[in-house]
Chain A
Amino acid sequence: MVKISSTLSTQLQPKAEVQNLNFYYAGSVHALQNVNLTVYDKKVTALIGPSGCGKTTLLRCFNRMHDLYDGNRYQGTIVLQPDSVNILARRVDPIEVRMRISMVFQRPNPFPKSVYENVAYGLRVRGEKKRSLLDEKVEQALRNAALWDEVKDRLNDAGTNLSGGQQQRLCIARALATEPEILLFDEPTSALDPISTESIEKLITELKHQVTILIVTHNMQQAARISDYTAFMYLGKLVEFNQTEYLFNQPAQKETEDYVKGRFG
């Protein structure tokens, strides 16, 4: 056991380090309190905790989604490796951050455009116009999202006509097309049926070989199934962070234990 974890740690590269992060929503709700967390490169990190604990708030700090609404305030840093950029810094443009860190939302939200245009949009906003390159990247992204075989004959159909699970995979393809360094998932299966959920989970475990994944989930079994690391959050604080198997089997904190054993939440 000890040996395994030491070999693991030699391969571990931090991808993003959250340091003393505080976050205030407009109206000064102190939603995140002094959060410290390391997201490891090419691993799946899960954020779990009861509703309102701040896990989605933390996730949305990673692509500066909070900047879209007036009055929100960050304090502290999220340092992105390897270039050690603090992505919360005022002088770092949120657009730059979002070009490096992509996101898949809770409810599938494909654009009411064709399947092709949905996936190509991230490249188009970057000014890419070459059809052959777009074609190639769209196909690659759809293949990576395990959707290509289902949609290759209907690339011009509206993305909103796909089934719920397909729509979510389309959103994953859209997020992958720009080859992000980190992929954020905000409860990606909470609006899906069990079969679609399984296919998304399978996809996430495959994707982690290419991209660092940070996933918020309401579902503890899901975190246990697919994540390498898990952070348990409660009331805006990060209570415990560890390798998933340790967090679930040998939680160090009483609150973590109560939560993962299903005593509250």
Chain B
Amino acid sequence: MTQTILEDIRAGIARRKLMDGIFAIGSLLTVLVALIVLLSLFLQLFVQGAPRLDWQFFTSFPSRDPEQAGILAAWVGSALVMLVTAFVAVPVGIAAGIYLEEYARKDWLSDLIEINVTNLAGVPSIIYGLLALGFFSRTLNLGESILTAGCTLALLILPVVIVTTRESLRAIPRGLREAAYAVGASRWQMIWDHLLPYSMGGILTGIIIGLSRAVGETAPLITIGALTFIAFLPDFSLAQPLEWLKAPFTVLPIQMFNWVSRPETDFQVNAAAAGAVLVVLTLLMNGLAIYLRYRYRQGLKW
């Protein structure tokens, strides 16, 4: 009697364990499919682009001769646009996140804003390009400049910065806020002395993830009129230190797109090399984000 019951139990356990095993293997396979596709793509890029990845490639302007062409204008353009993007998106995004999380009353209006911010993150990037073409480029008369591009991408990543700022603030326990208030801190003192330092890891992560998305954006920049062939760098002089903001520009993904669309096969190699640079750049940025998050979390516990 007891023996048969015990056997039943064992058979049941074996059956359930079998299910466990099947599911584990299935999940592993799906993970592998995703990983292998991605890795082979990267590998293809690197192998194909390898012959062009040298010093000359980074220090040359585009050229009609594939062997002479390089990404100097593109990476300088990307760097400058990112600088403007960060400069605009970081203060605005953090301030908006703080306002929504700490100051705004929790009512239908803040709910509406929250839904809209989340939705903005999902708006196709070319729509931002159209908005920027009309608003920055025409209405504000900023032209087809680095400033316009930076502001456009800043708008694009603003939702990411706002959402991660809010999430990092929300992760700080209520007890810590109350502790600060209880010794007589004002709201701003509480935010400045406590919330911001404690959430800095998360906020920085959001900024970098946002920027690494922005660095690969092409569509909105084509819409606002990024050039595809630039054989000069923005002028920089101490007399007019902000003049470069008005300069025309190109960026890495646009340069890459330009090469891909050329008929000569030699340009495809250049495209692959530029793609490899872009991938490495993005990976480095994400790696930095992970490192910063780790560094900031280390000293903090509550």
Q: Which residues of A contact B (CB under 8 A)?
A: 63, 65, 68, 70, 95, 98-99, 102-103, 105, 107, 109-112, 121-122, 124-126, 158, 160, 171, 174-175, 177-178
Is the beta-carbon distance between A125 and B182 smaller than 8 angstroms?
A: no
Nearest B-chain residue to A123, judged by Cβ:
B183
Which residues in B have their C-beta under 8 angstroms from that of A124? 193
Given A98-B181, A112-B302 in contact, is the A105-B186 Cβ separation under 8 Å?
Answer: no
Complex: how many Å from CA A65 to CA B184?
A: 11
Which of B106, B173, B177, B193 is the one whose CB lies under 8 Å from A70? B106
The B245-302 residues at the A interface (CB cut-off 8 A) are 299-302
Which of B106, B177, B183, B194 is the one whose CB lies under 8 Å from A98? B183
**8 smallest A-B Cβ distances: which pairs?**
A122-B183, A109-B175, A99-B184, A103-B182, A109-B179, A125-B185, A98-B184, A112-B300
Does B180 belong to the interface (CB within 8 Å)?
yes
Is the beta-carbon distance between A109 and B183 smaller than 8 angstroms?
A: no
If A95-B184, A109-B173 are given as contacts, then 15 extra A-B residue pairs at C-beta distance below 8 Å, sorted by A number, are A63-B182, A98-B181, A98-B184, A102-B182, A111-B176, A111-B180, A112-B176, A112-B300, A112-B301, A112-B302, A124-B193, A125-B184, A125-B189, A160-B302, A175-B182
Which residues in A have their C-beta under 8 angstroms from that of B184? 95, 98-99, 122, 125-126, 178
Which residues in B have their C-beta under 8 angstroms from that of A103? 182
Interface centre among A98, A102, A109, by most chain B C-beta atoms within 10 angstroms, is A109
Q: Which residues of B contact A (CB under 8 A)?
A: 105-106, 173, 175-186, 189, 193-194, 198, 299-302
Report the minimal beta-carbon distance from A10 to chain B, rounded to whole angstroms.
34
Complex: how many Å from CA A70 to CA B103?
A: 11
Given A70-B106, A112-B198, A112-B299 in contact, is the A65-B181 Cβ separation under 8 Å?
Answer: yes
Is the beta-carbon distance between B105 and A70 smaller than 8 angstroms?
A: yes
Complex: how many Å from CA A99 to CA B106?
A: 27
Q: Could you list 14 A-B pairs, sorted by A, with CB under 8 Å?
A: A65-B182, A95-B185, A102-B183, A107-B175, A109-B175, A111-B176, A111-B194, A112-B198, A112-B301, A124-B193, A125-B185, A158-B299, A171-B179, A178-B184
